Every structure is written in structure tokens, then in C-alpha cells.
Amino acid sequence: MTDFLLYLTNGLVMGIIYALFALGVALIVGIMNVVNFAHGELYVLAGYFSALFASALGMHPALAMIMATLCVFVVGLIVERTLIRPTYGNEMYSLIVTFILSIVLQNGYLLIFGPYPRKPPNLVTGATNVFSLFMYGNQRLLGFALALVMIVCFFALIRYTWFGRVVRSVSIDRDMASLMGVNPQRVNLLAFGLGCALAGAAGVILTPIFPVTPTIGVGVSLTAFVVVVLGGMGSFAGCVVGGILLGVMENLGAAYISSAYKQLFGFIILISALFLRPAGLFGRKRA
Amino acid sequence: MEVITANTKKPLTVVGIVVLALFAAFPLFLGQYWLHTAIVGLFYVMMASSWNLLAGYTGQVSFAHAAFAGVGAYTSGILAAKAGLPPLLGLPIGIAVAAVLGLALGSLCIRMGGIYLSLTTLGFSEILRIIVTNEYEITRGTMGLKTPPLFGEYSKTVSFYVLLAAALLILWLIRRILNSDLGASFRAVQNDETAAASLGIPVVRVRILAFVIAGAMAGFAGSLYGHYLMLITPHILSLDLMFLVLAMTVIGGMGTFIGPIVGALFLETLSEYIRVYGEYHILIFGLVALAVARFAPQGLVGLWRQFRSAV
């Protein structure tokens, strides 16, 4: 029973972080109808940045985390401006471009940082006795809390701010929103940057626990796609539910069925969800 | 989109025959190393051309093409290594299994379009890769499966001619398809499914057929390649290989007949030159592909056509 609760906790912690980076994909899909294949590579980039800032520049780990996320935000803006903008209206083309970008980034990281795992310093150390049942790493508990706070902030941003209102209006009806004076190009730019920053935030939270290597981002991207499809493309609340669901299922599946096939569960969910709801679990119809 | 007019066709045929004759004479003056490069290049010509048939002509950007090559390679490889079946018999079985999986995946994707189709094919490809990597007993996982050569003793020269004949067969088939009614249906489906359906084109059948044909061709290429290498690893169905196929097609020119051929041969040759400077060739491919996708979406073929019409 204790084991089961431990797996469940693990699933919950991972699930919330899955939800955090999947929200980035959901935001970009909802606004721009672009699936960013390089999402995981931006997560990796944030990990490298935060390790670099903390160890090479001697920043406080918390400051390094914030700086790294901001840097990834800026990178996202640059990518949108230079690579994604010319593909507007051609979703296949943006797919191909971001797929190539992800390979370029992976090999770029390999060239710059080498194949060795990198890891920013922990913010906290030690472990806490959870419910007086099992010891659980403080860094993981902190990661869980941070991710939860970020998600709450994101929802507040979407719900209560001007930016959020614009985002929601564009994702409902792009043309109408632009008639109402919304600048769609600027919304795309900001949404893409923010989406990447969410990957970055998840990256800085998770890399002290799971060190980054150049190719680890592939798994992150794929996980994000599974969560987004599972929760309903473009639906933010669905993303959180989908993330937790996947986190829990993966960890229970790995514990009780087969750890080698951990990733397989996600893909089976992905394909069955897409098959059963072919228009996407979208929340809105596509032309 | 490619338009062939009567007066451009003749010189192209001549150029084609000259290039082919030169190519066929390769074993006479190329060393073993460059012969290997040529063989790998021919494999990529088959892969890129058949992927282009699916993605460039029907607009279904599938990420499972490398997976189909893997299916072909592993099917005939396992049959030969475990059951002792002659590779020449395993080859058609490999093609058939790839075609059946193409049928399954194509039918699964039929109600989806765009990014959903791509995500589904991506999921399919990763499922296969995970299974092949983990089923060590059957596939020998990342250690690689040893397979016999296609027939007789191992010989690079024979392999070269086999691959050359296979590539020509594939290209001839693709050419035939593109110039037939089916090719016209492919393009119609890509441009506008609704309009195509209104003209009486069986959209569903056309889309699935494209998957089956492309899958069978990839299975054929993969199976031959596996028996040439005599060692099959899960790399053949990885996204890395998928990326190479995609980059070659994009750089050469997606949606053109010549583009993937040019792209595959160009990139494979280039990678041999870059390899001298270390393992950066994928990075450089990526940067080139990114630049081409950004500034010349029609690829090298598009650039050449612009140049010709400007002169």
C-alpha cells in the first residue's frame, strides 16, 4: 500500500510538471494552430541556461532559474519572428520547420555542451517524511509546488488580464478578434514566446532532478503532445487533467506492468484519443 | 507542382540517360568506400521519393516512413535470421507487411488531417521503435540483428546494382503513378479535399492508397538496405532517419519528382565530405534544410527553375 501511494505521489508530481509544459503547446496550438516540435528542445535549453548561470556565473540558483526562463521566452520570440511567421496559414509547413529546428537544436547542444548530462544545483536538499509513510525528496516537493504556482498564475493570466482576454478571443475567432482591433501578429508572437517560456519553466524546475542531455527533449515534446491531445487540443483545463492522468498512468504502469514500456502507454493513449475523436478533442470545430 | 511540357521533356530524358550511364559505371572507378556512399544514397533516393509521393503529392505529412522501412528490414531480417528463410522470399513478405501496416495506419488517419495525422504517425513510429528496442529476444534490440546478404556471397558491387535497379524500379513506378489518373487524384486531394470529392474522386480510397504504396516502397527499400548492411538496428526506424528523409526532400524540393532524388544524392555525398570534420553533418543538414525551408520553399529544384526562367 505504501508503495502504491509512493507511485501515486510520483505520478502526481510528474503529472503537474507535464501539465506545465503541455500548457505551452496547448497555448500555441490554440492561438496559431501550430504544433511546435521543438518544444522539448526549449525545455532542454532552459536546463542548460540555468546550469550555466548558476555554475559559470555564480548566480543564486533561484535567480538562475528565473533568468533561464526569461532567456527561453526571448528565444521563443526570435523563433516565432524568424521561422514561424512565414509559415502562417500553412500548418504542414510550420510542422516541418519546427521538426527541422528540433533536430538542429539537439545537434547544436551536442556540439556546445557535449553528450554528458548537465544539472543545475538543487534549491533545497534532503527529504521529508510524507504523511509519515515514505521519505520524499524536498527538491521534488518544491518542484511540485512551483509548477502548481506557475499553473495557477497562467490561469489567472488567461482569465483576468487583458492579454488573456485577447488570447481567448483570438482562439475563438481570429478574424473577428482582428476586426475588434486585436493585432493578430503581436498576439502570435507573445503567445509563442509565452508557450516556450512554459517549457522553459518546466525545464528549470525538473532539470535539478533529471539532468539534461542534448536529446532528452524528444521525450518531453512527445509527452506534451500526448497530454495536449488527451486533454483536448487547445483546452487549458484539459491539459492539467491530461497531465496528471498521464503522469499517474505512466508511473503505475511502469511499476506494475513494465518499466521498459513506460513511454508506450502514452502513445497508445495518443492514438486512441485521436482515433476516437478525430476532429481532435478540440473544443472547437476545424474547417 | 510539376508540369511537363513536350519541349522540356526530351533534353531531360537525354540528361537522365547520361547521368544513369555514369552512375551505372560507378563500380568501375569508385573505391569500396564511395561505393558504399552510393549505395546508401540510393537507399535514401527510394525513401525520399516515396515519402514525397505521400507528403508532397497528397499532403499527408507522415512521420512513420522510417518506421515502414524498419518493418520491411526487420520482417525479412527476422525471417532469415530466425527461420532461415532465404532473403529473396523474405523480401516480398517484408513489403507485404509494410503495405498492410500502411493500410492500417492510412485507415486510422483517414478522418484526420494536418497536424493530427502527423501526431498519429509519430505515435505509431515511436510505438514500433520502443517495441523493437525492447523485444530483445526477437530483434536483439540495440545490439542489432545480424542478417545474411540478399543472395550469394556478400559483394558491394552486386549490392550496388541491386539497389540501383530497385531505385530505378521505384522511380519508374512513381513516375507512372504521377502521370496517371491516380497522380492527378493525389494532387487534387492535396489541393482541396472537398473539391476533389465533388468531382467524384474517391478521396478516402486515394488517401489510403497513397499510404499503402508509400509504405510498401519504404518496406522494400528498408528490406534491401537491411540485407546490404547485414546488421539491422533500431536506428532504421528512428526519428533521426526520418529527419534525414524529410530534410533531403525539403532541400531537393517537395512536391517535385526530381527534388527528392537530387536532395538525397546531394546530402549523402555532402555528409561524406563533412564527416571528415567530425560528426556535425546532421547539424549542418538541419541548418541547410531550415534555410531552404525559410527562403526557398521549393527547394533546389525551385531555385533551378527560377534561375532558368530568369536567364
Q: Where are the domains of chain B?
A: 6-310
Residue B283 has pLDDT above 80, yes or no: yes
Nearest residue of A to residue B111, measured between CA atoms: A278
The answer to whether B61 faces chain A, any CB pair under 8 Å, is yes
Distance CA B207, CA B47 (A): 19
B271 touches chain A (CB under 8 A): no
Nearest 5°: phi and psi at B50? -75, -35
Nearest CA in chain A to B132: A261
Looking at B44-58, B67-81, B148-162, which range is the least confident one?
Answer: B148-162
Whether the pLDDT of residue B151 is over 80: the answer is: no
Q: Is the pLDDT of residue A279 over 70?
A: no
Using alpha carbons, select from B71, B108, B51, B94 the residue that is nearest to residue B263: B51
Q: Give the mean model confidence (pLDDT) for residues B58-81.
A: 88
ipTM over cut 0.90: no
Give mean pLDDT, residues A108-112: 88
The pLDDT of residue B67 is above 60? yes
Report the gap between the CA of A97 and the closest CA in chain B (Å): 7
Q: Residue A242: what pLDDT?
A: 85
Q: How far is A108 from chain B (nearest CA, A)?
A: 6
In chain B, alpha helices (H): 6-24, 26-29, 32-58, 65-83, 87-108, 114-134, 136-139, 156-178, 181-191, 193-198, 203-229, 239-252, 258-275, 281-295, 299-310
Q: Which of B56-65, B134-143, B263-272, B296-305 has the lowest mean pLDDT?
A: B134-143
Mutate to test the interface with B, among A33, A90, A107, A216 (most CBs of B within 10 A): A107
A282 pLDDT band, cuts 50/70/90, is very low
- Residue B158 near chain A (CB below 8 Å): no
Dihedral sign for Cα B129, B135, B137, B143, please. Answer: positive
pLDDT at A185 over 90: no
Whole-number pLDDT of residue B11:
67
What is the residue-averaged pLDDT of chain B? Answer: 82
* Arithmetic mean of pLDDT, B19-40: 79
In a mutational test of the A interface, the residue from B107, B109, B119 whose CB has the highest number of chain A CBs within 10 Å is B119
**Is B136 near chain A, with CB under 8 Å?**
no
For the CA atoms of A235, A239, A245, A251, the dihedral, rounded to the nearest 10 degrees, stands at 150
pLDDT > 90 fraction of chain A, expressed in percent and rounded = 13
Asked whether the predicted pLDDT for residue A228 surpasses 50, the reply is: yes
Q: Which residues contact B275 (CB under 8 A, 6 or more apart)?
A: B281
Interface contact B294-A33, CB threshold 8 A:
no
For residue A234, the model assigns a pLDDT of 67
Closest CA of chain A from B116, distance in Å: 7
Nearest chain A residue to B126 by CA distance is A267
Which residues of A sit within 8 Å Cβ distance of B?
29, 33, 35, 82-83, 86, 91-93, 95-97, 99-101, 103-104, 107-108, 110-111, 218, 222, 225-226, 229, 260-261, 263-264, 267-268, 270-271, 274-275, 278-280, 286
- Chain B residues within 8 A of A103 when measuring between CB atoms: 240, 243, 247, 282, 286
- Determine how many CB atoms are found less than 10 A away from the CB of residue A240: 24
Q: What percentage of residues in chain B have a pLDDT greater than 90? A: 13
Q: Which of A24-33, A111-120, A134-143, A245-254 has the lowest mean pLDDT?
A: A134-143
- pLDDT of residue A287 exceeding 60, the answer is no
In this complex, which of B63, B114, B119 lies closest to A270 when CB atoms are compared?
Answer: B119
Three-class secondary structure of residue B255 per DSSP = coil
Question: What does residue A61 show for φ and ψ, rounded to 5 degrees?
Answer: -50, -40
pLDDT grade for A280, boundaries at 50, 70 and 90: very low
Looking at CA atoms only, how far is residue A165 from chain B in angstroms? 26
Segment B277-299 mean pLDDT: 81
Q: How far apart are CA B51 and CA B62, in angstroms?
A: 8
Give tens-digit pLDDT for B174-218. 988 888 888 778 877 777 777 777 777 777 888 888 889 999 999
More confident residue, A100 or B117: A100
User: Which among A3, A6, A40 has a CA at the least distance from the CA of A225?
Assistant: A40
Closest-CA distance of chain A to residue B293, Å = 7
**Contact status of B243 with chain A (Cβ, < 8 Å):** yes
pLDDT of res. B10: 62
Instruction: Give the integer Cα–Cα distance in Å for B279 and B215.
Output: 30
Q: What count of other Cβ atoms lies within 10 Å of the Cβ of residue B205?
A: 12
Checking if the pLDDT of B6 tops 50, the result is: no
Cross-chain residue pair B239–A95, CB shorter than 8 Å: no
| Grid cell digits, residue A153 | 498564475
> Do the Cβ atoms of A263 and B122 come within 8 Å?
no
Q: Three-state SS across chain A?
A: CHHHHHHHHHHHHHHHHHHHHHHHHHHHHHHHCCCCCCHHHHHHHHHHHHHHHHHCCCCCHHHHHHHHHHHHHHHHHHHHHHHHHHHCCCHHHHHHHHHHHHHHHHHHHHHHHCCCCECCCCCCCCEEEECCCEEEEHHHHHHHHHHHHHHHHHHHHHHHCHHHHHHHHHHHCHHHHHHCCCCHHHHHHHHHHHHHHHHHHHHHHHCCCCCECCCCHHHHHHHHHHHHHHHCCCCHHHHHHHHHHHHHHHHHHHHHCCCCCHHHHHHHHHHHHHHHCCCCCCCCCCC
CATH architecture of B6-310: Orthogonal Bundle (1.10)
Of A16-20, A112-116, B50-54, B222-226, least confident by mean pLDDT is A112-116
Chain B residues with CB inside 8 Å of A276's CB?
none
Q: How far does CA A12 lie from the centroid of its chain?
A: 16
The set of cell numbers assigned to A27 is 497555448
Q: What is the tens place of the pLDDT at every residue in A72-95?
A: 999 999 998 888 888 877 777 888
For chain A, what is the mean pLDDT? 83
**Can you give the pLDDT at residue A33?**
81
**Which residues does chain A have within 8 Å of residue B260's beta carbon, measured at their own beta carbons?**
none
Give the mean pLDDT of A168-187. Answer: 80
Lowest mean pLDDT among A17-31, A47-61, A165-179: A165-179
Q: Say what the pLDDT of residue A284 is.
A: 45
- For residue A285, pLDDT over 60 is answered with no
Residues of A in contact with B283 (CB under 8 A): 104, 107-108, 110-111
Q: Give the residues across from A118 on adjacent strands.
A: A212
pLDDT of residue B5: 47
Chain B nearest C-alpha distance from A264 (Å) = 6
User: Residue B126: pLDDT above 90?
Assistant: no
Q: Is B120 on the interface with A (CB under 8 A)?
A: yes
- Determine whether the interchain pair B108/A271 forms a contact, defined as Cβ–Cβ distance below 8 Å: yes
Looking at the predicted structure, is the pLDDT value of residue B68 above 90?
yes
Amino acid identity at B47: M
pLDDT, residue B9, reads 54
Rounded Cα distance between A129 and A144, Å, is 16
